[in-house]
Structure 1
Amino acid sequence: MKNNKKILLLVMTLILLVAMPLVATSIYDSSTDLYKQTAEPFEGTSVRSMGMGGAGIGITGYYDSFLLNPANLGAGNLKISLPAVTLTVFNPNAILKSGAIDDLQSGDENATISAAQKFLGTIGTDYGDVMTTDLSMVLGLGSFGFGLQAQERLMSYKTGADTTSTNLIAQVTVAATAGLGFRIQAIPEYLSIDLGVSGKFIYKMFLQAQSASTITDMLADDNADPADTYLNGTPIVAGYAFPVDFGVNLNMPLGFTASAVLKNYNGAYSMSTYQSINNWSEEVLGSAIAGETADSSSFTSEDFTIDAGWQLNAGLTWAPKIGSLLKPIFAFDVVDITSLADLSGDELKTGIYENARLGASLRILSIVDLRYGLRSGYQSFGVGLDLLIFHLDAAYYIQEYGAQLGDKPIDAVSLRFSLLSR
């Protein structure tokens, strides 16, 4: 029985680490590096864009086009995506090479312990992501677009080489986006201008960072009720923001489009700390999720803001019309242009290289999309399949998490399934 309890403890530890951290280890401190990734502007996972190196702010005709650039609503397309589910796993190569999956498939109880250790060993130092899950519903009716998104993101921050230095932060974000766009025919049949604006209501909440040891200690305590600890012993940080995006497309002859997007204007989050999930639920929703709420008289709530600032992106898209059988698209974007303003010489060249996004896609028979991209020199590959009302998108790509290119590239695989429009 003792050995079985140890095995069960390790299995539960692995599951909780992958799915959702449970026990807080410290009060939120915005002056530390630990929570740096939680301040990033919310962006739902676009598998299509990731397969094209992150490029495509000027590409119209897809369910997420107006989410990347509200000016794309000027094209007046009808798009309905109900619903869409996206799963992203990071470090897939390292996980496969570690042998963790083989250990799990073996069915041996002792192998489960080895699988957990190998999986944790794939998480590198400094910042990273472990996995994300996205749910979305999008409706595009001519010049109007509306989208609902929810994302669970499990982030990592590791201070050393040992697995005990791994900190995991679970974040849940929900967003409602409404956009409006229209087209101005400047020179009929030669030049048109698309203008668009979108506003979002975003609510973000994340549990405080924890390590595997805190979960193990909690589960090892026979006198502790995990459910009670989860609801009443897990401090969280939660808050909201109302960012606005502005976009413009200049549509030119031969299928060329020049685009510019101002992202995350007024994107500051008003955040508050809560003693537990139950306390948050009682204060925000009016009632506790389950059981009695813990006494919060000794807990001092903190209010603060998180602001990543606004960002200006620009791009050039070429969608030549060569027939109905093949539909190619080429896109070149440069993100966060303002960060390049004070650079010159070699630093400017490096900055442009790091911020550049280059992508291409080829649609065949309106059934298959083949995609390729370059992001800061890292390659990406993607494919999209349209099967009646079912749509599947997949992408393999690499993102840089280090301070400099090459410091910490992390690969990822994203799969998206949806109904109706692509």
Structure 2
Amino acid sequence: MIRRPDSLKTFLQAGALAGLCALALLQAPKQAIAGPSGVAGTALFQQFPLLYQGVLVEGMGGAFTAVADDSNAPFYNPAGLDNIQSSSFQILNISADISYPSLYPTLYNGVSGAGNNNQNYINAFSSVAGQSLYARVGDYSNYTTHDFAIGLLSNNQMLGVANASPTTTNLGSLAALSDSGVVISGAYGFFNHHLQVGGTLMGLYQMFENIPSLSKTQASALSSTLSDNLSYGFGLVGNLGAIYHFDLPLNPTLGASILNVGTANFGNAGSLPQLINAGVGIDPDIGFGRLLADIDYVDVTNYLYYTGDSLWLHTRFGVQYQFPEILTVSAGLYEGYPTFGVGIDLWAVEVNASYYTEEASPVPGLNPDHIVSLQVAFGWM
């Protein structure tokens, strides 16, 4: 049981967390003025701004800022490493996301027989007009223990969007992002672990592909089009986070994180803008298993134009229940859409699956992109 801090410690703890939030908010004017460009201006980044998405986290609505407590913490809130009380070594940790139902079969069948006919291309893209296709595959092999994590990351994602009114000069858009490199993360608990702070440093090689208006000519020679539009570069990415545990019923927590601190630059591959998230969670002692709940407000400084002024698009909510052995189940709300997740941990093999929906427009409910995710990890968990 965590001891209740005295009044001086409470003041210092609250001040430290407030200082982190103040540091984050000082960046707001710069972000509000700068318009998104490069990677940041693509629908891919606007909808999927994280360098790595945890499948279990997706199942609980993507809400993790105030309750981070596993190997996903370096990417959401590295302070959560201080909540981990055991060690795990995931030698291979593969995960994948895909839109469902996929527009790919319909589009492929239409384009494969299009020949060099302009109208055939227009008809093929018109059959999926306005629809999105998201796909991701990645591996985060890592060693994670109390207050420390190190791993090798490879995360590859793409988003294709068919134009609502396809023409020969604008059939749709395509963006892809690939990141690979080393991840090192650490955390520390102060005042008997009431206040936790953490940081992540990533050295990543990034490849970026962006075709905002795919023409019929480009689509008919897609391989060379992709090669001509590829850019790449190396950059350093930093994340900072803090979590505060209150001595109150239900064990409430308050969390804040700054992702891509100070903006991460990858040269010709563009840059990743700084994003700020905040959350409130609970971790009650229920006597059998473990229950977590969290509600996040993401993109506090409103950098992502997709979130706009919509409270729904800023909000993540989730609940996760971990049985004493093997099974974990979760549910939540992601941008107003329901999410579900399930995980099975057999010590040497871990399998997680989730379902969530990404809003593919700045208007909630207008263009839902349903996504299924699967993760399979081998090692010692």
In 2, the alpha carbon distance for the partners of 1:386 and 1:33 equals: 36
In 2, the alpha carbon distance for the partners of 1:248 and 1:215 equals: 47
Relative to 1, partners in 2 of residues 1:245 and 1:411: Cα closer, same or farther, differing over 3 Å?
same
Instruction: Say whether residues 1:62 and 2:55 are aligned partners.
Output: no
**Alignment-derived partner of residue 294 in structure 1:** none
Relative to 1, partners in 2 of residues 1:394 and 1:60: Cα closer, same or farther, differing over 3 Å?
same
**Alignment-derived partner of residue 331 in structure 2:** 372
2:374 aligns to what SS in structure 1? Answer: strand
Instruction: Say whether residues 1:249 and 2:249 are aligned partners.
Output: no
Question: Partner amino acid for 1:194?
Answer: Q
1:370-409 pair list within 5 angstroms: 370-409=329-368
Instruction: Say whether residues 1:89 and 2:98 are aligned partners.
Output: yes
Residue-by-residue CA offset, 1:95-132 (whole Å, 9 max, x unaligned): 5xx9869x99xxxxx9x869xx9996675528x44311
Relative to 1, partners in 2 of residues 1:76 and 1:360: Cα closer, same or farther, differing over 3 Å?
closer
**Alignment-derived partner of residue 417 in structure 1:** 376
The Cα of 1:313 is off from its aligned counterpart by 1.2
**Alignment-derived partner of residue 151 in structure 1:** 155
The Cα of 1:211 is off from its aligned counterpart by 4.6
Relative to 1, partners in 2 of residues 1:122 and 1:75: Cα closer, same or farther, differing over 3 Å?
farther
In 2, the alpha carbon distance for the partners of 1:380 and 1:119 equals: 31
**Alignment-derived partner of residue 26 in structure 2:** none
1:14-413 pair list within 5 angstroms: 35=42, 37=44, 41-77=49-85, 78-90=87-99, 92-93=100-101, 95=103, 123-125=128-130, 128-162=132-166, 165-186=171-192, 192-209=194-211, 211=214, 213-214=216-217, 217-218=220-221, 234-253=228-247, 254-272=250-268, 305-308=270-273, 310-324=274-288, 326-339=289-302, 351-413=310-372
Decide whether the 8 Å contact of 1:399 with 1:410 is kept in 2: yes
Decide whether the 8 Å contact of 2:39 with 2:45 is kept in 1: no
Question: Partner amino acid for 1:181?
Answer: A
Aligned residues: 330
The Cα of 1:46 is off from its aligned counterpart by 1.1
Decide whether the 8 Å contact of 2:277 with 2:300 is kept in 1: yes
Decide whether the 8 Å contact of 1:41 with 1:264 is kept in 2: no
Decide whether the 8 Å contact of 2:43 with 2:159 is kept in 1: no
2:74 aligns to what SS in structure 1? Answer: helix
TM-score, length-scaled by structure 2: 0.74
Decide whether the 8 Å contact of 2:74 with 2:199 is kept in 1: no
Question: Partner amino acid for 1:173?
Answer: D
The Cα of 1:59 is off from its aligned counterpart by 2.5
Relative to 1, partners in 2 of residues 1:50 and 1:163: Cα closer, same or farther, differing over 3 Å?
farther
2:137 aligns to what SS in structure 1? Answer: strand
2:194 aligns to what SS in structure 1? Answer: strand
- Between the two proteins, what is the percent identity of the paired residues? 20
Question: Partner amino acid for 1:134?
Answer: G
Residue-by-residue CA offset, 1:265-321 (whole Å, 9 max, x unaligned): 122323227xxxxxxxxxxxxxxxxxxxxxxxxxxxxxxx5342x222111221212
Relative to 1, partners in 2 of residues 1:216 and 1:54: Cα closer, same or farther, differing over 3 Å?
closer
In 1, the alpha carbon distance for the partners of 2:39 and 2:241 equals: 34
Decide whether the 8 Å contact of 1:45 with 1:134 is kept in 2: no
In 2, the alpha carbon distance for the partners of 1:399 and 1:237 equals: 27
Residue-by-residue CA offset, 1:39-81 (whole Å, 9 max, x unaligned): 8744212111111111012334422123311111223532322
TM-score, length-scaled by structure 1: 0.67
Residue-by-residue CA offset, 1:318-372 (whole Å, 9 max, x unaligned): 1212224x322111111122239xxxxxx99x64333111100112232111110
Gaps of 5+ in 2: 1-36, 115-120
Relative to 1, partners in 2 of residues 1:159 and 1:393: Cα closer, same or farther, differing over 3 Å?
same
Gaps of 5+ in 1: 1-29, 105-109, 220-225, 274-304, 341-346
The Cα of 1:94 is off from its aligned counterpart by 5.5
Residue-by-residue CA offset, 1:188-221 (whole Å, 9 max, x unaligned): xxx71111111122221123538584477449xx
Decide whether the 8 Å contact of 2:102 with 2:133 is kept in 1: no
Decide whether the 8 Å contact of 2:356 with 2:371 is kept in 1: yes
CA RMSD, Structure 1 to Structure 2 (Å): 3.8
In 2, the alpha carbon distance for the partners of 1:420 and 1:61 equals: 18
Question: Partner amino acid for 1:382?
Answer: G
Question: Partner amino acid for 2:263?
Answer: G
The Cα of 1:397 is off from its aligned counterpart by 0.6
2:301 aligns to what SS in structure 1? Answer: helix
**Alignment-derived partner of residue 28 in structure 2:** none
Question: Partner amino acid for 2:253?
Answer: T
